[in-house]
Chains A and B, each alone.
Chain A
Amino acid sequence: MSLTTRRTRMAAAALAAITAVGGLAACGKDDDTPAEGEKPAKLVVDTFGEMGYDELVKQYEQQTGIKVELRKTAQLGEYRPKLVRYLATGKGAADVTALEEGILNEFKANPRNWADLTPLVADHSTEYLPWKWELGKAPDGRLIGLPTDVGSLAVCYRKDLFEAAGLPTDRDQVSALWPDWNGFHEAGRKYKQGSGGKAFIDSVTAVSNGVLFQQGSDLFYDKENNIIADTSPAVKAAWETATSMVDISAKTATWSPEWSGGFKQGTFAATFCPSWMLGIVADNSGEANKGKWDVAAVPGGGGNWGGSWLAVPEQSKYPKEAAKLAEFLTNATSQVEAFKAKGPLPTNLEALKNEAFLSYTNEYFSGAPTGKIFGESVSKIEPVHLGPKHQAVKENALEPALRSFENGQASKAKAWEQFVKDAGIQGAF
């Protein structure tokens, strides 16, 4: 996707959301509930990004005779305000709604907006990655989301740039360069020397993202949802590792034009890739760079960035049928199909063992066996507790503070002060 459409959409989303405040008050909840057992003529599914549901939805239509309308929104930033509008006004929400990890928690904070799926679907609690399944539950114990994909991490790197700088290019040898973050830093320094001072990685926030989810402990909140941003060892580890890498960073903030352009220009030679990022790396790098990228393991084992659930809003008129559709879209076969179509990584244990999944290779990334690479890293993901405003703290407190330091706007101590203060503001709920 081009930068232009992304930014235009952002503006459109912003404007749409502003208008939404005005409209918010005017609407009430629809009360024409259909009779019990009545079959819906149509179910609506809301997704963002690319979840690979096009073919699956057609299959479902044939199987059940229920028409399914798939509404896709390109960016999460544009999707969230729409969803907020639907929930605030009590109308307009799809029957099946995708919720991303980052926004799941704030929506879970008001569980009454979502249907409890436990009585509506069979018991699948043992079929998915256990931590992923648990996250789909609201604080009051109701099951509000069925797991779709997970954002297990890998490293995408440019083989041609690695070679020019005198680093190995084979993906196993590259993975062997960085069993841990020190190894990664070392490789980055070597690259910088060998390439005449070029940056190795896109930004320090990419690093903090990677480290944060490897700690397997509480992040910004403890189990009772108190903000512990300033004392959390996981946050401290992410902070220290990220800030130490400032010498090998290209200082291009993720999603900025400098960042998108950097893929083509070779501004950096490596970045962290959750499975869903592969398509974005390919788009940003262009057809000319096909075969120059490859995928290696992430330093320090696992890691997670993103991933979603399917939920049924309370306002849906057909919660039962909607739950059935969500169940279908998240079953093992569907998850493998979706992965092959667009790359979201399965969370269903059976899908993760599926032969077609494990043997899948990605042509753009020099034929890397992405099914195998990501499948292996999934098992290494440490389950973590994400508090109610995790995403806000990460995006509006941690990352700006890291960037302040990275760009030389603040000393490390000052930046940390900024983070602690903002974490308190952003994390309040």
Chain B
Amino acid sequence: MSLSATTAPPSPAAPPPPDAASRRRRGYLLNHLDLKYSPYLYIAPFFLIFGSFGLYPMLRTAWMSLHDWDMIGDHSFIGIDNYTRLLSDEYFWNALVNTFGIFALSTIPQLLLALFLANLLNRTLLRAKTFFRMAIFIPNVVSVAAVAIVFGMLFQREFGLINWLLSFVGIDQVDWDGQRWSSWTAIASMVNWRWTGYNTLILLAGMQAIPKDLYEAAAIDGAGPWRQFWRITLPMVRPTLIFVVILSTIGGMQLFTEPLLFGNGRILGGNQREFQTLAMYMYEMGIENLNSAGYGAAVAWAIFVIIVLMSLLNFVLVRRSAK
């Protein structure tokens, strides 16, 4: 249309034909509708899916948590009884301690290692960069069940590789799922193996966004690589670091498959619940025990509240340190 307009301009005196006018009007209307409503259409799939698979189950769980609920039978309203019971439930607090223990053992070394690796991969002099960057991500692609099974074999008491290696330095057979510290270590090692590469890549992306001239200026001023890392890299990746920490927190609080499979699928997580996480306790109460589904729902909400609190805490801490 614009082409034809340049080659043969219509005389300004002649009015456009009537059908062209109505077409233009309709075009305007469509255009208007398009501008006003299509954005909603474009984002609708997310909200529909979030509504039916995210929000609705959450509200439903909240509703269930106020009831004495039998999964395949009756339910009756009991108000906040499930929540008051939760506060004095020894096994709930046990699961909370386990979850935080495994979380600390997995997140802290994992983030330090990821930071170190990202810094290494960020070097300009590194050869085969793409290869290393891809290779480091591979553990994250492996199915969590496969990881848990392989690690479960490594940490076996009788024929496990780790115990075999330990025997060379004179350490007796460790019953990995028999104590808290050992089971936490084993489970944390699975989490670390899977997620270090992922966090490395995210941190690397953050590092690449740092302007190169900052480093050049620092180098001219005589700052070595270590000082550059502390004074430039670390402050500049702080926003990325917050993101990574919050993601790890959410993942850590919901840890389920690794400890479940480490304990041969037994929901108690060890003979004395040495490594039963909050998510496992929720499953035990909400799904395994048919008649305490309401209590399980209360545990689920407790996990949600804990995640929110942890994320807020992260946020505040990191913000304060930025000032």
Contact = CB atoms under 8 A, between A and B. Distances in A.
B287 A81 contact: yes
B287 A22 contact: no
Contacts of A257: 152-153, 156, 264
A88 B71 contact: yes
Contact of B287 (A17, A401, A404, A428): A17
B261 A10 contact: yes
B272 A400 contact: yes
Given A17-B287, A257-B156, A87 B72 contact: yes
Categorize the interface residue count of chain A.
35 or more
Interface string A17-36: 11011101110000000000
B264 A4 contact: no
B132 interface: no
B232 to A, nearest CB: 43
A265 B159 CA distance: 10
B142 to A, nearest CB: 13
Nearest to B54: A22
A109 B291 contact: yes
A25 B59 CA distance: 11
A26 B61 CA distance: 13
A354 interface: no
Given A11-B257, A110-B73, A257-B152, A404 B157 contact: no
Nearest to A83: B72
Interface in A370-429: 389, 392, 396, 400-401, 403-404, 407, 409-410, 418, 425-426, 428-429
Nearest to B58: A22
A66 interface: no
Contacts of A131: none
Contacts of B159: 258, 261, 265
B282 to A, nearest CB: 9
Interface in B142-162: 144-146, 148-149, 152-153, 156-159
A311 B73 CA distance: 17
A428 B292 CA distance: 9
Contacts of A425: 91
A257 B159 CA distance: 10
Contacts of B40: none
A14 interface: yes
Contact of A18 (B72, B270, B287, B290): B287
Contacts of A410: 272
A314 B284 CA distance: 27
Contacts of B270: 400
B60 A77 contact: no
A396 B271 contact: no
Q: Which of A21, A84, A258, A426 has the most CB of B within 10 A?
A: A21
A256 B263 CA distance: 8
Contact of B175 (A11, A14, A407): A407
Contact of A258 (B145, B158, B271, B288): B158
A16 to B, nearest CB: 10
Contacts of A81: 287
Interface in A98-119: 106-107, 109-110, 112-113
B60 A256 contact: no
B316 to A, nearest CB: 32
Contacts of A87: 71-72
A7 B291 contact: no
Interface in B45-59: 52-53, 56-57
Interface in B131-186: 144-146, 148-149, 152-153, 156-159, 175, 178-179
A77 B265 contact: yes
Contact of A14 (B60, B71, B157, B257): B257
B260 interface: yes
B289 interface: yes
A4 B271 contact: no
A387 to B, nearest CB: 13
Interface in B273-299: 283-284, 286-291
A49 B100 CA distance: 38
Given A11-B145, A77-B265, A87-B71, 9 more contacts: A21-B57, A25-B56, A81-B287, A257-B156, A258-B157, A392-B289, A396-B284, A400-B271, A407-B175
Interface of B: 52-53, 56-57, 60-61, 70-73, 91, 144-146, 148-149, 152-153, 156-159, 175, 178-179, 256-257, 260-261, 264-265, 267-268, 270-272, 283-284, 286-291
Shortest 4 CB-CB contacts between residues of A and residues of B = A10-B265, A110-B73, A11-B145, A87-B72
24 contacts: A7-B264, A10-B261, A10-B265, A11-B145, A11-B148, A11-B260, A12-B145, A14-B265, A15-B257, A21-B57, A26-B56, A88-B71, A88-B72, A107-B72, A109-B291, A255-B264, A262-B158, A265-B158, A265-B159, A396-B268, A400-B268, A400-B271, A403-B271, A425-B91
